[in-house]
Structure 1
Amino acid sequence: MTTHSTTSTASTGKRKITIFDTTLRDGEQSPGASLHSSEKIVLARQLARLGIDAIEPGFPISSPGDFAAVQQISRELQGVEIVGFARALRPDIDAAIRATEDAGFRRLHLFISSSQILLEHQLRKSQQQVVQMAREMVAYAKQHVERIEFSPMDASRTGEEFLFELVEAVIAEGATIINIPDTMGYALPDEYGRMFRRVRENVRGGDTVAYSAHCHNDLGMAVANSIAAIQAGVSQVEVTINGVGERAGNCSLEELVMAIETRKEALGVETGIVLPELYETSRMVSRAMHFPIAYNKPIVGRNAFQHESGIHQDGLLKNRNTFEIMDPEALGIPRNMIILGKHSGRHALQHRVAEFGVALQDGQLEELFTRFKAIADEKKHVTDDELLRIVGSTINQTLERFVLQDVQVVTSSLKNRVASVTIADQITGAVQSHSATGDGAIEALIQCIKSAMPFDMEFIDLELQSMAHGERAKAEAAVEIAVDGRPYRGSAIDQDVVMAVAHASISACNQAARSVQADVEAQSGAGAVS
């Protein structure tokens, strides 16, 4: 279990930063991000696999469901510190104590407003009343739980003298961790780092407690402010997966962790996060909260490790370090760095075609490049299924095993949707039609495609994006499937959303078929050699 993390890690000599995850509490407070108790439990298990040091699973007083989730997570995750969140009110504290009483390791996290604007317009208390409430409630909580974290809410807009007075009071009553939150995302990095130094220097007992940073992202500086706090000696940072949270969100776990990992020599700190679990954790939270991840989101966004520029692609193919400072595969992100678009060059095109197992003869690359550029100028990027078609026509050969010949979908507001597809298998020569029903058109369509495949296919994920505005807008569909536990991703663009999903699904199935065939050929080759 992680405690104050003020000492260096023996093996590296670097200071260990405790990662406190509040995705299931502060993150869930983001409008539209509400989670069922069962979803919280699944995500908490994943946070434990990720190597989180302390999990704040909810706000026990807020609802019976939240209380039950915190209670079950406390009972199940015995190796992780569980944090009970509470206002500086006795009923809140009692609920947090009861919800976390079965935890292997626990702390209570108490907060109260501290800025003058919140005292006047939200809490409607005087400064002295707030100090007295904080004193009494920390003392009360201390009777039940040893580790007490205290947060003066909106600390970055709180007058310095009152902040000192409030923090000094709760330290005197037994608070062991002082969190100085930038609740409104207002602080600048140098200001935020200075707050911690000033508190430590001017508060009696300020050097006897641990310090925590909790930053919101209203001005886009949550990660920068958190790093400034680390440089000021903070030993814990409070984060959320994908940066979810109130308004513009919180400090993003994956961004902070990778900033530390990538620049740990300069920062002199490290975390215990299991990096290969980062990507899957991000996707799980995105799905559970129904919050899409921005394409340009650092670390986990779709474009974070993808390149369309010919100059960048050429450099990457020669040496990955030319245009990447992190290894996506080390974070659990499937490598797919080359995106073919109008800025791509011959080197990238030839590389992508070679990944399909196709060797172009003299003159074929130039012919293919000309056809490719014509399509790329018209569309944002060239998807795999489009590329395979133009490669096939260039070398006069069919490269896709499965060809979608027809799709029909019947929708109704009164009954299930009905879909039928006709798919040709270029290896066996068979042309088969399959029908299925579903609550939605896409569900019915996917059931048809599943039944047409000669292998068991699991439908994992679907992303849809409008490519323009107006009724003639095209849709891009990105579909991920799994076959024998291995992921395959296909994308397609069409004015009809259902057709875009159909073509993207078939593209993914064709990738799976090529992989299966390659495995068979490799095994037969190994058998022949032996």
Structure 2
Amino acid sequence: MIIPVKKRIQIFDTTLRDGEQAPGASLTPEQKIVLAKKLAALGVDVLEPGFPVSSPGDFAAVETISRLVHGVEICGFARAVKGDIDAAVRATRDAERRRIHLFISSSDIHLRHQLRKSRPEVVAAAREMTAYAKQFSDAVEFTAMDAARTGIDDLIEMVEAVIEEGATIINLPDTVGYALPQEYGEMFRRVRAGARGADRVAFSAHCHNDLGLAVANSLAAIGGGATQIEVTVNGVGERTGNCALEELVMALETRGDALNAKTGIALEQLYETSRMISGAMHFPIAYNKPVVGRNAFQHESGIHQDGLLKDRSNYEIMDPERLGIPRSMIVLGKHSGRHALKDRAAKYGIALEGQELDALYDAFKVAADRQKTVSDDELLRMVSSATGQGVQVYELGDVQVLAGSAPHRVAAVSVRHLSSGREASYTSTGSGPLEAVISAIAQGIAEEIAFAGLELHSLGSGEDAQAEAAVMVERGGRPFRGTAVHRDIVMAAGLAYIAACNSALLSSEEEENAAAAQ
């Protein structure tokens, strides 16, 4: 049996250009440089850092990225206009490998209502500007904007013209997210079969998500012969965004045998890259977003939790740890069962059976019916009550924060070390109250535990709304997570930080005890 060789799909990342065009997603040149380096480490093949002619800041960002970011092809974006192409050429002149990417509309709708030019005029401009760009770069990508709504004969005419002038990559975008997968894949097949010279160039797909079909259409394009897909991290972009890099990559990774395709993306970098883009653009990630969403690998249903604890493959088709996602797959809520509760307690080194487990389960159900989830902080208190012994290492006492218009906030906290009974107070400052509180608590944690991140979410609305905080810490290179719920966001963050530290310390104690028993 001959195993077919998987087609290598080039990943063209336009997060810093098309993604930044989303309202409110603007990035500073300095942010673009940091993110460009991260995208290169992620393993994208082509990076489009901006639109050089659009602003001095974008030009400077593309120019600096071209000089500093290595191991990836840098793409200069331009309209089919000499001034745009000149700016793209200048901005990318220091790149190890560069590409000039020019575009012009191809559909009757755009020609009639936006460009207000005849088709012969537009084809002539496409031909002339492709030839002009070819003087400066061997790699020239041509985009027929709104290709998915262009008549096939008209599209083939334009594609043939730019291939004759030296275009090496032909991008046929679904600019407004209108196409259906079968239509989009068929468009690629027909253009590749009908355009003279199509066998000499690569074909690319750029899909928008207006009907929620960007990833499906991109996969259909691969089936139609595309070897490059244009994506953004988290699917950011104009209107409803672009094909999401992480979703496309994991579709190819998970179903690569059926799709006969693969990428060169470093999967372990996906989660961290997603979080960096979300933070820099101030675009929160939907809880139910595939691959990187908060709920993507979390399970509350008791049936699912039981099946998952027996074998991950029962309810997960991807391994989150391969993507750099901390393993926190069990969410304790009112649908959770005894198996999940017992397993979570065991992660803290606490073995529960019989009456102790029943007592904990009864208390847990009362709390879970009252609120959406039961946090780690609250669970540890329940375990202490059910077993009659303290199981936490540290406990947060009083918290006071001084806020105001001054540049720094002041926080004073008390931290109790439960096994020794010692309690001490600590004071610190920060640019905000949360930073000040976390910094003060950290002084009371004797062990080497590094703060790694904080998420805050609102549970409900109105005067009785509560804040849910999730804090990530690292100890010995391993990530740990703690959660807490409180009506005060500062208290929620502080309690979650203590819970995360307890998780790290109790997990370490459990491992040490297990090793000693062997």
Short-chain TM bin:
over 0.9
On the 8 A contact 2:14/2:230 being kept in 1, the answer is yes
1:382 to 374, 397, 401: 374
Closer, same or farther: CA 370–522 of 1 in aligned 2, 3 Å: closer
Q: Give the match for residue 405 of structure 1.
A: 397
Shift of 1:415: 6.1
Alpha-carbon separation, structure 1, partners of 2:190 and 2:149: 15
- Residue 86 of structure 1 pairs with residue 68 of structure 2: no
Shift of 1:280: 1.3
Identify the range of structure 1 (71-80 vs 132-141) with the bigger mean alpha-carbon deviation. 71-80
Shift of 1:430: 1.3
- Residue 352 of structure 1 pairs with residue 344 of structure 2: yes
Q: Give the match for residue 111 of structure 2.
A: 119
Closer, same or farther: CA 175–246 of 1 in aligned 2, 3 Å: same
Give the root-mean-square deviation of aligned CA atoms: 1.9
Letter in 2 for 1:453: I
Closer, same or farther: CA 456–123 of 1 in aligned 2, 3 Å: farther
2:150 to 147, 158, 163: 158
Structure-to-structure mapping, 1:357-506, within 5 angstroms: 357-413=349-405, 416-506=408-498
1:26 to 18, 21, 25: 18
On the 8 A contact 2:4/2:260 being kept in 1, the answer is no
Shift of 1:519: 6.1
- Residue 169 of structure 1 pairs with residue 166 of structure 2: no
Shift of 1:353: 0.9
Alpha-carbon separation, structure 1, partners of 2:401 and 2:237: 39
Q: Deviations over 1:220-254 (max 9, x none)?
A: 00000000000111111011111111111100011
On the 8 A contact 2:334/2:369 being kept in 1, the answer is yes
Shift of 1:456: 4.3
- Residue 269 of structure 1 pairs with residue 257 of structure 2: no
Q: Give the match for residue 28 of structure 2.
A: 36
Shift of 1:359: 1.3
Closer, same or farther: CA 201–361 of 1 in aligned 2, 3 Å: closer
Q: Give the match for residue 297 of structure 1.
A: 289
Closer, same or farther: CA 377–270 of 1 in aligned 2, 3 Å: same
Identify the range of structure 1 (423-432 vs 247-256) with the bigger mean alpha-carbon deviation. 423-432
Shift of 1:97: 1.1
Alpha-carbon separation, structure 2, partners of 1:125 and 1:361: 78
Structure-to-structure mapping, 1:55-204, within 5 angstroms: 55-204=47-196
- Residue 53 of structure 1 pairs with residue 56 of structure 2: no
Residue 404 of structure 2: SS of its match in structure 1?
Answer: coil
1:251 to 224, 243, 246: 243
Alpha-carbon separation, structure 1, partners of 2:282 and 2:498: 25
Letter in 2 for 1:114: S
Shift of 1:47: 1.5
Alpha-carbon separation, structure 1, partners of 2:141 and 2:460: 49
Residue 502 of structure 2: SS of its match in structure 1?
Answer: helix
Shift of 1:120: 3.0
Alpha-carbon separation, structure 2, partners of 1:416 and 1:78: 39
- Residue 15 of structure 1 pairs with residue 7 of structure 2: yes
Residue 363 of structure 1: SS of its match in structure 2?
Answer: helix
Letter in 2 for 1:505: Y
Identify the range of structure 1 (12-21 vs 303-312) with the bigger mean alpha-carbon deviation. 12-21
Residue 70 of structure 1: SS of its match in structure 2?
Answer: helix
How many residues were matched structurally?
Answer: 517
Shift of 1:331: 1.3
On the 8 A contact 1:408/1:421 being kept in 2, the answer is yes
Residue 172 of structure 2: SS of its match in structure 1?
Answer: strand
Alpha-carbon separation, structure 2, partners of 1:457 and 1:346: 31
Alpha-carbon separation, structure 2, partners of 1:343 and 1:139: 64
Alpha-carbon separation, structure 1, partners of 2:68 and 2:498: 41
Q: Deviations over 1:160-185 (max 9, x none)?
A: 33222211211111111110000111
Alpha-carbon separation, structure 2, partners of 1:59 and 1:403: 52
Q: Deviations over 1:183-213 (max 9, x none)?
A: 1111110111111112122222223211000
Residue 321 of structure 1: SS of its match in structure 2?
Answer: helix
Residue 462 of structure 1: SS of its match in structure 2?
Answer: strand
Q: Deviations over 1:443-491 (max 9, x none)?
A: 2212211222213443332211111121221111111223444322211
Shift of 1:38: 2.0
Alpha-carbon separation, structure 2, partners of 1:521 and 1:31: 53
Identify the range of structure 1 (458-467 vs 499-508) with the bigger mean alpha-carbon deviation. 458-467
Q: Give the match for residue 300 of structure 2.
A: 308
Q: Deviations over 1:471-518 (max 9, x none)?
A: 221111111223444322211111111111111111112122324545
Alpha-carbon separation, structure 2, partners of 1:517 and 1:312: 29
Closer, same or farther: CA 521–364 of 1 in aligned 2, 3 Å: closer
Shift of 1:46: 1.6
TM-score computed with the length of structure 1 as normaliser: 0.94
On the 8 A contact 1:450/1:456 being kept in 2, the answer is no
Quote the sequence identity (%). 62
Residue 350 of structure 2: SS of its match in structure 1?
Answer: coil
On the 8 A contact 2:347/2:507 being kept in 1, the answer is no
Q: Give the match for residue 3 of structure 1.
A: none
Identify the range of structure 1 (428-437 vs 166-175) with the bigger mean alpha-carbon deviation. 428-437
Q: Give the match for residue 335 of structure 1.
A: 327
Residue 472 of structure 1: SS of its match in structure 2?
Answer: coil
Q: Give the match for residue 205 of structure 2.
A: 213
Which 5+ residue runs of structure 1 have no aligned equivalent?
1-9
Residue 265 of structure 2: SS of its match in structure 1?
Answer: coil
Alpha-carbon separation, structure 1, partners of 2:282 and 2:65: 22
- Residue 235 of structure 1 pairs with residue 213 of structure 2: no
Alpha-carbon separation, structure 1, partners of 2:431 and 2:70: 40
Identify the range of structure 1 (156-165 vs 364-373) with the bigger mean alpha-carbon deviation. 156-165
Alpha-carbon separation, structure 2, partners of 1:144 and 1:11: 41
Shift of 1:69: 2.1
Shift of 1:130: 1.3
Q: Deviations over 1:8-65 (max 9, x none)?
A: xx99711111111111111111111111222222222222221111111111112222
